[in-house]
Chain A
Amino acid sequence: MNPQDLEALAPLYALEALDGEELERFQKALQGSESLQALVREYRHAATALPRSLDPVEPTPGLKSRLLETVAPPAERSAPVFTRTFWGLAAVAVFSIIGYSLLHPTECHGLVFQGGPEVTGDLLWTKRHVTLRVRGLPPLPPGKVYQLWHIMPGMPGPVGQKTFVLDASGILVGSDSMKDAITAQCSFAITMEPLGGSPSPTLPIYALARN
């Protein structure tokens, strides 16, 4: 591939639209060419015209404070911890697929909640603090709440955390402090429980965020 051919592919590469053998050849050539790298950098910058030409949208009030609270949480609060019971197959299934990556304990990380076909959401965590936002959960019947569970390898069962209700938009939004430190091997689950929460989880799991 001559330099002119490579230059012609640079805008496609910058848009991440290059594929197949051309992508492989371009990436190989890119490693050894500062001029090609500079060209890609220019096209990447040019591509930002697309989002930058959109009308900006003001984020929901509170989103920024939730973000900052997550990355730099206030003084840790005590959290209710209920008795722990073994969660059987659910926990086994979770732990069987957990990767044991090494993460710095003070860093903030994100996990994705999965559940039914309409459930989406994220859980952001630092060592002892989580912020969660889950959409698509079923409406709560009277007398019921959603409860967060912290699942840790080596513990006899999931640790019950705070209970939550859905907001006016049907979204579960909240944060919680953990009594036990969160590690990279931890997972989180949400179940529906009686008002006040339960000492042990009631199946089914409505949403699961796992490492």
Chain B
Amino acid sequence: MNPLGWGLRRSESQEDSVLNDPKSSDQALLERVAGRDSQALADLYDRYAPVALALAGRILGDRSEAEDVLQVVFTRVWTSAGRYDSAKGSPASWLLSWVRNGAIDRLRRRDALQRASLRAMGEAPAGHDGGHADHDGAAEERERLKQAVDSLPADQRQVIELAYFEGLSQTQIAQRLGEPLGTVKTRVRLGMNKLRQALPGEAH
């Protein structure tokens, strides 16, 4: 597994040197950002921005708004990298939780009419102009994760996605689906256990 995680976009020779460079782990980059190293922020951006934008776009259904979220989040990374606490999660989960929460906050601010019109545009982020040429290893990792998510039973995947992408609580999910709360809990637990098995360990 690529120890740098996903979204890496460098040439193979660059990748080799980066892989061997302890200064370029996610954790090390955050420490350098905390020390006001803007190149470290640029490296972190290159590594995470495409997935962060995909996540914000998936939640918001609007590329422009998703990019707004991205810019705010990376600015906050710049100001708050020193407060990252590895005890609470990996750098990836820390950063992506900001993207997720920022996008969900925006989603909640929209009125119902605006939300409906955006969804009518389709689930794919609008204006997806140009592909993302990431490294083979990152593509393979993404494919592996996609298979893990796709292999979840539909009812388990549904409750997890409602929580993750729409920010619904367990009670709200139960109400939305018309299912008992206990059923929702069980589905989340079973599905998350499968994802946990698919992602052993944490990439710091």
Which residues of chain A from 59 to 100 have any CB-CB distance to chain B below 8 Å in the complex? 59-60, 63-64, 66-68, 70-72
Contacting pair A110 B51 (CB below 8 A): no
- Please tell me which one of the listed residues A50, A71, A72, A131 contacts residue B164 in the complex, with CB atoms under 8 A apart: A50
Contacting pair A71 B38 (CB below 8 A): yes
Q: Across the interface, which residues of A come within 8 angstroms of B100, CB to CB?
A: 51
Q: A19-B170, A135-B64 are in contact. Are A47 and B192 (CB under 8 A)?
A: yes
- What is the CB-to-nearest-CB distance from B42 to chain A, in angstroms, rounded to a whole number? 6
Contacting pair A63 B71 (CB below 8 A): yes
Dominant SS among interface residues on chain B: helix
Q: Across the interface, which residues of A come within 8 angstroms of B185, CB to CB?
A: 8-9, 12
Q: Across the interface, which residues of B come within 8 angstroms of A20, CB to CB?
A: 171
Contacting pair A58 B130 (CB below 8 A): yes
In whole angstroms, what is the CA distance A43 to B70 when docked? 24
Contacting pair B160 A15 (CB below 8 A): yes
Instruction: Determine the residue in chain B with the shortest Cβ distance to A110.
Output: B72
Q: A56-B54, A110-B75 are in contact. Are A15 and B93 (CB under 8 A)?
A: no
Q: Across the interface, which residues of A come within 8 angstroms of B76, CB to CB?
A: 110
Instruction: Determine the residue in chain B with the shortest Cβ distance to A55.
Output: B54
B173 at the interface (CB under 8 A from A): yes
- Please tell me which one of the listed residues B49, B90, B199 contacts residue A49 in the complex, with CB atoms under 8 A apart: B199
In whole angstroms, what is the CA distance A63 to B54 when docked? 15
How many residues of A are in contact with the other chain, CB < 8 A?
Answer: 56
Q: A12-B170, A55-B54 are in contact. Are A133 and B189 (CB under 8 A)?
A: no
In whole angstroms, what is the CA distance A161 to B100 when docked? 33
Q: Across the interface, which residues of B come within 8 angstroms of A120, CB to CB?
A: 65, 68, 106, 109
- Please tell me which one of the listed residues A12, A71, A169 contacts residue B189 in the complex, with CB atoms under 8 A apart: A12
Contacting pair B168 A58 (CB below 8 A): no
Contacting pair B196 A42 (CB below 8 A): yes
Q: Across the interface, which residues of B come within 8 angstroms of A107, CB to CB?
A: 79
- What is the CB-to-nearest-CB distance from A100 to chain B, in angstroms, rounded to a whole number? 19
Instruction: Determine the residue in chain B with the shortest Cβ distance to A111.
Output: B72
Q: Across the interface, which residues of A come within 8 angstroms of B4, CB to CB?
A: none
In whole angstroms, what is the CA distance A120 to B145 when docked? 33
Instruction: Determine the residue in chain A with the shortest Cβ distance to B134.
Output: A56
CB 8 Å contact bits of B156-188 with A (1 = contact, 0 = none): 000011011101111101000000000001001
Q: Across the interface, which residues of A come within 8 angstroms of B199, CB to CB?
A: 45-46, 48-49
Interface positions of A (Cβ within 8 A of B): 8-9, 11-12, 14-20, 37, 40-60, 63-64, 66-68, 70-72, 107-110, 117-118, 120-122, 124, 131, 133, 135, 169, 171
Pull 27 A–B residue pairs with CB atoms less than 8 Å apart, ordered by A.
A11-B193, A12-B189, A19-B169, A40-B89, A41-B93, A43-B196, A44-B90, A44-B93, A45-B202, A46-B195, A51-B58, A51-B100, A52-B92, A55-B132, A56-B6, A56-B53, A63-B70, A64-B46, A67-B41, A67-B71, A108-B75, A108-B78, A110-B75, A117-B111, A121-B68, A133-B68, A169-B64
